Structure formats: C-alpha cells, structure tokens
A and B are shown apart, each in its own frame.
Chain A
Amino acid sequence: MSIRTLILQQLANTLANGGVVSDDYSLEANELPWNASGEPLYVKNMRVVYVGDEDEAKVQLYRTLDQGNVYQTETTVQAFLTEDAKNIKANNPTVIDNMLNAKDIVNTANGFNVQLAESGYEQEIDGDTITYTFEYIFTTI
C-alpha cells in the first residue's frame, strides 16, 4: 500500500476518529487535485480535501564493500483544502489538526520502517478564499 493510500485511508475517517469527514468537510478519495478550466478542483470544491500524488527519491544510506547497500526512500505528499475566508467553519481547527496528524498512519504496522515523519502546512488567502497546502515528508528504509 502506498503512502498516499494510507493518508487517504486515515483522512476518510470521521472527524472524531482522526479524519476529516463531517457535515462540513469531506475527502476526495479518488481524484488527484487536477485543474478544471484553469482552476484547481480544491478551489472549485471548497471544504473538500484533495491529496496529491507522491514524489519519491531513493537515496543511498550506506555503501558496503559487498554491494549490500541500504537505501532510504524520501517521499513527499501534498494535500489541499480551501475554505471560504468569510465563513470559517467551527470544525476547521480540528480538521487541520487531524490532517497534520495523519502522518502517523505511516508506520511499521502498515509496512513502513519510518525514520522521519513530518507534516506542516502553509496558508494563502486569494480574494475571499483561503487555501491550506499541507506537506507530508517521510523518510523510510
């Protein structure tokens, strides 16, 4: 199972169970955040969380004399959420907190030896919308 799939799995839970699904918010479980008529879907569909595809890089952690090399995989995933800046929902802080904590689903029990798991977000206001761009960074062995 890929890291993106795990994050989607976690975010598909209800708000009370560490996801984003509630009366006000939902998750797009299939589509990537593509642009429709020049506008990203997450801007067009406010309060719907979109998770982007993975960026991956394999980096050599150790070289050994018998070529038993150890590699680490660096994976970055972005997620997006847009809100009406004039009408921020009361659940917004919980949704953001749950989205940050969704990184914890990537763990040994789910098949990943995690060396580093970080998440963060930036926000940008454009007109009357505010867009949160989340970034998950994982280093796995």
Chain B
Amino acid sequence: MAEINVTAGTEAILTLGTTEAMAAPGGTGGMVIPLMQDVTVNASPGIVRYSVLNNPSSKAFTTVNENSVSANMLLDEETFFGLDAAGGVNQVADDGLFKTSVDKTEVFFSVAFQGSGAGGHYVKGQGFISGLAPTAQMDAAVWISPMEIVVNGELANATV
C-alpha cells in the first residue's frame, strides 16, 4: 500500500480521442492535455434524503450517478485551437478543445493515475467538453482555463 506520487510528471495524464482505444493512456493518436495544474475525477451518485416520522435520523436512497472530470490548465495554442497541421487521425486534436466544445462533439477520455506504463490504473469514459473559461491577467502572465468533461454515462476503471 502506498500513495500514488505524481511529481515525476508522467503519472496524472488526461487523454482525449475519438475512440476508446485512442483515448486510453498511451493510445495511438490520443491527445494528451498538456500543462494541467490539476485534474479531478468526480464520481458522484445522486442521493435523495428523506425523513420518516418514526425515525430521528434521515434516510437516503440513490439515484443516477453524475460524473465529470475537471481540470485547470495553462493554455497550449495547438491544444486549444487545434493542430497547426491537422493529422486526420484524431478529430479532437485537429479541432482543438474550443471547437470540440462549441460543436458539442462527444469525446472519449481517460485519466491515467499511474502513467501509461503497463499495469497503470486509469479511469475512462465519454462525454462533452464544457466549462472552458480562458482568463488572462497581467499578474498571471499566461492564459489559464478551467475545463470540465461532463460524462455521458458511467465511468469505468481499467489498467494499461
């Protein structure tokens, strides 16, 4: 048992693609989001609480899961606006995050917890890019933006 250390710079990786295989960590043609400051996987079952007259504590039942992946990143030109020379392999990479979000294109994604090496755990799914809000200010010196992938369906875990 040990913590998963991400300081090596090769562990926490968000990859996007047009197929599940492409979006897997290390997948051919996958678009790795560079310069992320943080990435968060939100796996949240919906829960409804209710009270009954003969019990002093509230009760609960679950509803559907609402999943998302969020991140904050320094903007990379080609990642945000698309490849300078479209490769024709990964439409998400060719279009960039902004157009993919505007077009409401569904993407496959993976969040690697332990890099792309064999045996590394990752979480995968598919969803829509949302929440882009690029911000520039003199103190920050560079463009920064949050991003959210609103997951369509369920998250799943897998290993490389």
Contact = CB atoms under 8 A, between A and B. Distances in A.
Given A70-B141, A115-B138, A65 B74 contact: no
B102 interface: no
Contacts of A115: 138-139, 141
Contacts of B6: 65
B39 interface: yes
Interface centre among A61, A62, A65, A113 (most CB of B within 10 A): A65
B10 interface: yes
Q: Is the interface of B mostly helix, strand, loop or mixed?
A: loop
Contacts of A68: 34-35, 74
Interface residues of B, number: 20
A62 B74 contact: yes
Contacts of B11: 65
The winner among A62, A70, A113, A115 for most chain B CB atoms within 10 A is A62
A72 interface: yes
Contact of A141 (B12, B13, B141): B141
A64 interface: yes
B25 to A, nearest CB: 13
B96 to A, nearest CB: 18
Nearest to A139: B141
A63 interface: yes
Nearest to A141: B141
Contacts of B39: 65
Contacts of A128: none
A106 to B, nearest CB: 15
A65 B37 contact: yes
Contacts of A72: 141
A70 to B, nearest CB: 6
B36 A62 contact: no
Interface string A50-87: 00000000000111111110101000000000000000
B119 interface: no
Interface in A100-141: 113, 115, 141
Nearest to B36: A65
A63 B73 CA distance: 10
A64 B73 CA distance: 8
Nearest to B9: A67
Contacts of A61: 141
With a 10 A CB-CB cut-off, give which of B10, B11, B35, B141 has the most chain A CB atoms. B141
Given A66-B10, A67-B9, 7 more contacts: A64-B73, A65-B9, A65-B36, A65-B39, A66-B34, A66-B36, A68-B35
9 contacts: A61-B141, A62-B37, A64-B36, A64-B37, A65-B37, A66-B13, A66-B32, A66-B35, A67-B8
| A-B CB proximity, top 6 nearest | A67-B9, A65-B12, A64-B35, A65-B36, A68-B35, A141-B141
